[in-house]
Amino acid sequence: MVKLDLSNVWDCFEYYDDNTKTIFDDEKFLKLIEEEKWDDVYSNRFWGCRGHFRELTFFLFNQGINPFIHMKSIPGFSFPNKSMFGYPKVPSDLMPKLKKIAHFEIPNGVEKICEGAFYQCEDLIDVIIPKSVKAIHKFAFSGCKNITEVTIPDSVKSIGDCAFQDCEQLEYISLPRNLSKAGHFMFDNCPNLNYNVLDGVQYLGNPVRPYMIACGVTDKTKETYTLSPDTIAIMSEVFENCYKLKTITIPQKVTSIGSFAFSNCASLESIVVPSKVTRIGRYAFRNCINLKSIVLPDALQIIAMNAFSGCESLKSVNLGKKINSIGGNAFEGCISLTKIEIPSRVECIFEETFKGCKSLKEVVLQKGVKRISWFSFEGCSSLERIVIPNTVEHITRSAFVGCTSLIEITIPRSVSYIGTSIFKGCDKLSKIYCEVVEKPKDWSKNWNKGTKAQIIWGAKPNKHKEDK
């Protein structure tokens, strides 16, 4: 049973809807602390925003209480840092006490370190991570500027995006041997890290497997690279601006390709993405202007924004059935692309995904797509045919603007919202078949502005096919 001394509770502990009352005035809250039900203490039932978690932890530490001892996870943004003293109501005499929290041992039993748990804890010098931890979430140690080394136990299977970003003094890190998921930008802006170099590639790993994660290269003028067989991830920006790179051999253990990984590799002509890759980061192959072919694996789930934008020579892409997200501008400016089929797990065609694909003649949208966003197919001047499935509910403004070769199109009954001018500049569009008998109330009054096409209400499904 925990007993609290409430004499030094300062009034930055307040309800988000009542500035005159501190959280410690709530008897239920105090009872949870006394009974050491820490998961409930750190729940949003009592906190207007998680920003107050740091103050709570700091208060408990000063009472000699470590709330994390009996928790399965360290809550997000919960470890004290200097930013919490930006509140004008906090007594200034408490500020020096923060410097005592420079060494911290995470209690054994904690299984995950949640998002931003130690975010910007600039006075933290070292942290001991126990073997019970299985996952380190994104931004977990981001901004811990004075940490110099970290050993991550082999129990950890996944490390999230930006987990150690901006750890400016970090020199050494030992990664778990069983790491299977490595986030993007994990070590972004860690200028003092010591890498293991093999054949011109900079890696991070551990004493047993030193070449697990490719982080950079020592020579951007090489024409060919072969990654270590032990590589499981290609971090962000590794081969960016390697203008002479023509061939790259990626081992089968790789599961992710980071943002900007091959951006501006102007000489790269083909690439085979390994079978276990589930995610291709944003701008990963941007402006690979000579990339003619790319083999994507069936395991791939995410193609992030601008992943292939500006790949002017890319003629075809086969998307696997497991793809569930294609980011905005993903194929913008792929001027040689002629056909694309969107798998059924993709629910949204994001903004400008195929903008400027002027050779694109046919688009197949499988049932499952629910939204076609603004300017999705802008400037697809060769597009002759697109079938909108009856799962689509929203078509936002200017979705097909400038599709000058489009002749006919059917809008299914499922579409409840249409934005303005979705067919503006579609000069050859002669007929728009609408399965509804009249304009729904959530269609913009200017939905067909910019086209002279005949509107046929109450059309049967795919009626324009029968006319042919």
Distance CA(173)–CA(235), nearest Å, equals: 15
Query: Contact at 8 Å (CB) between 422 and 349?
Result: no
Number of domains in the chain: 1
How far apart are the C-alpha atoms of 426 and 417, rounded to whole Å?
20
Tell me, yes or no, whether 458 lies in a domain.
Answer: no
The bridge status of strand 201-204 relative to strand 196-198 is: antiparallel
**Average pLDDT for 174-183:** 93
Residue 131 has pLDDT above 70, yes or no: yes
What pLDDT does 336 receive?
Answer: 97
pLDDT tens-digit series, residues 2-19: 777 776 665 555 544 445
Q: Which residue has the higher pLDDT, 126 or 41?
A: 126
- Domain contains 36: yes
Q: Tell me whether residue 162 is in a domain.
A: yes
**Bridge partner list, 181:** 158
Close Cβ partners of 430 (under 8 Å, ≥ 6 residues apart): 407, 408, 453, 454
Q: How far apart are CA 312 and CA 315, in angstroms?
A: 8
Q: Give the domain CATH number at 143.
A: 3.80.10
Confidence grade of residue 446 (pLDDT, cut at 50, 70, 90): very high
pLDDT above 60: residue 160:
yes
Residue of 60, 21, 19 whose CA lies nearest to 41: 60
pLDDT score recorded for residue 67: 87
Longest CA pairwise span in the chain (Å) = 83
The residue with tokens 């992710």 is 256
Q: How far is CA 112 from the centre of its chain?
A: 19
pLDDT at position 449, please? 95
- What is the band of 230 on the pLDDT scale with cuts at 50, 70, 90? very high
* Spatial distance between the Cα atoms of 411 and 447, rounded to a whole number of angstroms: 12
CA atoms within 13 A on the CB side of 328: 8
**Which residues form the domain of 61?**
6-182
Q: What is the pLDDT of residue 456?
A: 96
Distance CA 225, CA 83 (A): 44
Q: Are 144 and 118 in contact (CB under 8 A)?
A: yes
Residue 174 covered by a domain: yes
244 residue type, one letter: K
Is 465's pLDDT higher than 60? no
- Indicate if the pLDDT at residue 412 is higher than 80: yes
In a domain, 404, yes or no: no
Which H or E run contains 57? helix 53-62
CA distance 413 to 66: 58
CA separation for the pair 8, 291 (Å, rounded):
64
467: confidence class by pLDDT, cuts 50, 70, 90 = very low
Q: Which helix (H) or strand (E) covers residue 340, if one does?
A: strand 339-342
When pLDDT is cut at 50, 70 and 90, the band that residue 122 belongs to is: confident
Does residue 113 have a pLDDT over 90? yes
Q: Give the integer Cα–Cα distance in Å for 355 and 335.
A: 9
Question: How far is residue 423's CA from residue 437's CA, in Å, rounded to a whole number?
Answer: 20
Cβ proximity of 422 and 399 under 8 Å: yes
Query: Does pLDDT of 464 surpass 50?
Result: no
The CA distance from 458 to 437, in Å, is: 4
Q: Percent of the chain having pLDDT more than 70?
A: 88
Please state, in angstroms and rounded to a whole number, the distance separating the CA atoms of residues 131 and 336.
51
Q: To the nearest whole percent, how much of the chain has pLDDT over 90?
A: 73
170 lies in some domain: yes
pLDDT tens digits, 296-350:
999 999 999 999 999 999 998 999 889 999 999 999 999 999 999 999 999 999 9
pLDDT tens digits, 347-390 = 999 999 999 999 999 999 999 999 999 999 999 999 998 999 99
Mean pLDDT of 212-237: 96
Residue 28 or residue 235, greater confidence: 235
Is residue 236 included in any domain, yes or no? no
Q: Is 280 a domain residue?
A: no
Residue 282 to residue 302: CA distance in whole angstroms = 10
Residue 271 has pLDDT above 70, yes or no: yes
Arithmetic mean of pLDDT over the chain? 89
d(C-alpha 181, C-alpha 254), whole Å: 9
Model pLDDT, residue 64: 80
Reported as a pLDDT band with limits 50, 70 and 90, residue 149 is very high
DSSP class of residue 52? G
Average pLDDT score over residue span 124-143: 94
Residue 437 has pLDDT above 90, yes or no: yes
Kindly give the pairing relationship between strand 454-457 and strand 431-434.
parallel
Asked if residue 33 has pLDDT above 70, the reply is yes
Beta strands in 29-157 (DSSP E): 73-74, 103-105, 112-113, 126-128, 135-136, 149-151
* Residue 51, pLDDT score: 54
With 80 as the cut, is the pLDDT of residue 145 above it?
yes
- Give the CA radius of gyration of the chain: 27
DSSP state at residue 443 = B
Stronger pLDDT, 98 or 78, i.e. the higher one: 78
The pLDDT value recorded for residue 48 is 52
